Structure 1
Amino acid sequence: MTMRFPTLCSIGLIAALLPAVAYAQEPITVGPNGEAATPVAELELSDAEVEQIRQGSYTAAFAWHELYDWSGAVAQGAKDEFDRLGIKVVAETTAGFDSARQQANVETSMALSPSILISLPVDPAAGASTYAAALQGGAKIVFIDNAAAGLTQGTDYVTTVSADLVGIGEKTSEAMAAALGGEGKIGYIFHDADFHVTNLRDSAFKWMIENKYDGIGIVAEAGMADPARIEDIASAMLLQNPDIDALYVPWAEPATGVLSVLRQLDRSDVKIVTIDLNEPAGLDMVQGGSISALIADEAYNIGVYAARAGAASLLGKDVAPFLVVDAVIVTADNVAEGWQQSLHHDAPASVLNAQ
């Protein structure tokens, strides 16, 4: 799966070289505005409510940041839930990580008067302008991962649906400990950007390693503001710290760049643990390469519950401000099941056939 944040650097959302967040106490998952996390399973619709929605002739639209494996799985989850609820999807757009294009897409979609708009903001700071047409048109807005700034939950938008971010960090630390057999030295590469999702995941991983695994230590840290520089970052870290046993990389796309560095340096002894699914990382993992585990959120369920939240709002039901799904540790042993749990479709044939 392609990580959904890499090109934010190019559109001015990221402040350069921000320090990683540090926690004195164990972190907890909160929303982009500090909202308490609520498990998605708490959002239910009764049979009578489902029938009421089905009789409402409601419609929905998507204004995506970009479409790829992860967002495609989110979209499919939402479409399947909308189909169950009798809600017709009338528009689906992708912005190519261009905030101006996303605003235009929202305006174009709103010409069709959708009852619900599901979107992951390209530029949260531009929220008021990006979603002005949806606000004026009265659509029930449901955000994915990050809420647009300047909008009020419960009034301007329904909720934000994401993953248990600290849970992902915790599972990543568990996978790292398993890869190292409980002992070893880690190189920690974090997302050096002001982005809630990655900041919390990275910091949770670091806190867990430093506070729960006595035999494992972080011996080198480096921030990655631009994923295109990952090979330079990883090369420098490994050359300066040749005793590193494993690397934490914040998501799977740059992790494939780290794989190239390890091959160039002939460092097959170094393990990688990262987040999200994609074919090159999965293939390396099942072939017994450097990648030991991939931690993935339940992307399909994010879509299911985003659609359900929008529908619930149409009925005037209160929806918790920040809904979260679980995550799964995917290894060579459960790659087929893990891919299904996360994305709700089969792993690539190359990955399955390499087992």
Structure 2
Amino acid sequence: MRIQAIGTALLAAGMLTSVAFAQTVGPNGEAASLSADVVLSDDDIAAVQGKGYKAALLWHTSSDFINAVTAGAEDEFSRAGVEVVVTTDAGFDAAKQRSDIETALAAGPNVILSLPVDPVTSAEAFRQAVTDGVELVFLSNVPAGYTHGADYTAIVTDDLFQMGKQAADTLANAIGGEGKVGWIFHDADYYVTNQRDNAFKTVIGSDYPNIEIVAEQGIADPARAEEIASAMLLQNPDLDGIYVTWAEPADGVLAALRSAGNTDTKIVTLDLSEPVALDMVRGGNVVGLVADEAYELGRAMAAAGIKGLLGEEVPAFVVAPALTVTADNVAEGWQQSLHRDAPASVLNAK
């Protein structure tokens, strides 16, 4: 996972209601701007080239997702003549991230892209960067108490509502617009997954009157997914479909269906993963994976940072598009999301 809890801000703002999930909102209730609107003009590029600007990418972990975000950022920085001088992986360790920040600042970056591991501890960890006038662009999360324009340039994340909505639409289409479904949501106060999960539930309730969510179960540990799904299926053996909060636990749900000899219940989940994609292209239980455009997230983050350097106004909260990947478009979808080929096993199974 690549997210950190800041849903308490939404709770305080009264945002965690079904009404709020009509669209993606920022961690403090900010309205969303589209990443396609955060672009560098030819004049922007000319204004920064040759100035010796430098950037640092201080990530919370390493993954295919982060690799794609990094590629998008590096390509945009390269286009503008901005050198990426530091790239780090904190391994979800707040203390390690603080050390990474100190190391990066020694290299004199003008822009830092990062996902803060912990909102509270990162507020102090990034304070020196704020004092130094570094343009800070955050992925999905923001340090506690930070103010847009004064402390950071922008937050960039997925269109979280659209991810949940597309999952609902995909599952509904797969079961013919009617039936009984299960909802396995992330049982933690996580800003990103909370919005995605609740968007699915809201859209099923509002757009599909003939579909009923008859079973709900939270999950905190992906390793328990098979156990949770088995219990859900034992109590509801006639489920037509199951929504799973992200791809890793979806693999466990798939294992539970296979153990039960169940080839009928459909699964929809979020984020790209080889095991569940392989089942999907083979015509198994998985009918769709809803993903973000990770490469576009990186591009937009870099563009926001450069615009900040130029003193241009940058929206506080920026979202990149979501896309639905099915067996029919798996090759194209992988490229659109991650800017790389799908695993050979998935491509060869078609």
Query: C-alpha offsets along residues 124-145 of structure 1, whole Å, 9 cap, x if unaligned?
Result: 2323122123223321110001
Query: C-alpha offsets along residues 33-74 of structure 1, whole Å, 9 cap, x if unaligned?
Result: 111000112223221221111121100011111110111111
Q: Is the partner of 1:114 in helix, strand or coil? A: coil
Q: Which residue of 2 aligns with 1:40?
A: 35
Letter in 2 for 1:348: P
Q: Which residue of 2 aligns with 1:198?
A: 193
Q: Is the partner of 1:347 in helix, strand or coil? A: coil
Query: C-alpha offsets along residues 146-185 of structure 1, whole Å, 9 cap, x if unaligned?
Result: 1121211111110000111111111111101111111221
1:220 pairs, out of 201, 215, 220, with 215
Describe how 1:314-353 pairs up with structure 2 within 5 A.
314-353=309-348
Tell whether 2:257 aligns with 1:262.
Answer: yes
Describe how 1:116-131 pairs up with structure 2 within 5 A.
116-131=111-126
2:2 pairs, out of 1, 4, 15, with 4
Q: Is the partner of 2:287 in helix, strand or coil? A: strand
Tell whether 2:296 aligns with 1:298.
Answer: no
Q: Which moved more, 1:298-307 or 1:145-154?
A: 145-154
Letter in 2 for 1:227: P
Partners in 2 of 1:261 and 1:55 — Cα distance? Answer: 57
Tell whether 2:279 aligns with 1:284.
Answer: yes
Partners in 2 of 1:351 and 1:263 — Cα distance? Answer: 19
Please state how far the C-alpha of 1:271 moved relative to its aligned partner: 1.0
Q: Is the partner of 1:219 in helix, strand or coil? A: strand
Please state how far the C-alpha of 1:295 moved relative to its aligned partner: 0.3
Letter in 1 for 2:140: D
Partners in 1 of 2:128 and 2:187 — Cα distance? Answer: 33
Letter in 1 for 2:165: E
Maintained 8 Å contact 2:293/2:337: yes
Partners in 2 of 1:25 and 1:302 — Cα distance? Answer: 23
1:159 pairs, out of 144, 154, 161, with 154
Q: Is the partner of 1:101 in helix, strand or coil? A: helix
Tell whether 2:67 aligns with 1:72.
Answer: yes
Q: Which moved more, 1:181-190 or 1:124-133?
A: 124-133
Query: Over aligned residues, Cα RMSD in angstroms?
Result: 1.8
Partners in 2 of 1:238 and 1:22 — Cα distance? Answer: 28
Q: Which residue of 1 aligns with 2:167?
A: 172
Q: Which moved more, 1:71-80 or 1:229-238?
A: 229-238
Q: Which residue of 1 aligns with 2:237?
A: 242
Please state how far the C-alpha of 1:14 moved relative to its aligned partner: 9.4
1:86 pairs, out of 72, 81, 88, with 81
Q: Is the partner of 2:342 in helix, strand or coil? A: coil
Assess, with a 3 A threshold, how the Cα gap between structure 1 residues 158 and 13 changes in structure 2: closer, same or farther: closer
Q: Which residue of 2 aligns with 1:211?
A: 206
Scaled by the length of structure 2, the TM-score of the pair is 0.94
Q: Which runs of 5+ in 2 are unaligned?
A: none
Assess, with a 3 A threshold, how the Cα gap between structure 1 residues 13 and 214 changes in structure 2: closer, same or farther: closer
Partners in 1 of 2:7 and 2:169 — Cα distance? Answer: 29
Please state how far the C-alpha of 1:255 moved relative to its aligned partner: 0.7
Partners in 1 of 2:104 and 2:139 — Cα distance? Answer: 18
Scaled by the length of structure 1, the TM-score of the pair is 0.93
Assess, with a 3 A threshold, how the Cα gap between structure 1 residues 107 and 303 changes in structure 2: closer, same or farther: same
Runs of 4+ in 1 over 6 A off after TM superposition: 12-15
Maintained 8 Å contact 1:127/1:150: no
Q: Which runs of 5+ in 1 are unaligned?
A: none
Please state how far the C-alpha of 1:220 moved relative to its aligned partner: 0.4
Please state how far the C-alpha of 1:206 moved relative to its aligned partner: 0.3
Q: Which residue of 1 aligns with 2:57?
A: 62
Partners in 2 of 1:289 and 1:25 — Cα distance? Answer: 34
Partners in 1 of 2:250 and 2:7 — Cα distance? Answer: 20
Letter in 2 for 1:239: L
Q: Which residue of 2 aligns with 1:186?
A: 181
Maintained 8 Å contact 1:113/1:137: no
Partners in 1 of 2:289 and 2:34 — Cα distance? Answer: 22
Q: Is the partner of 1:174 in helix, strand or coil? A: helix
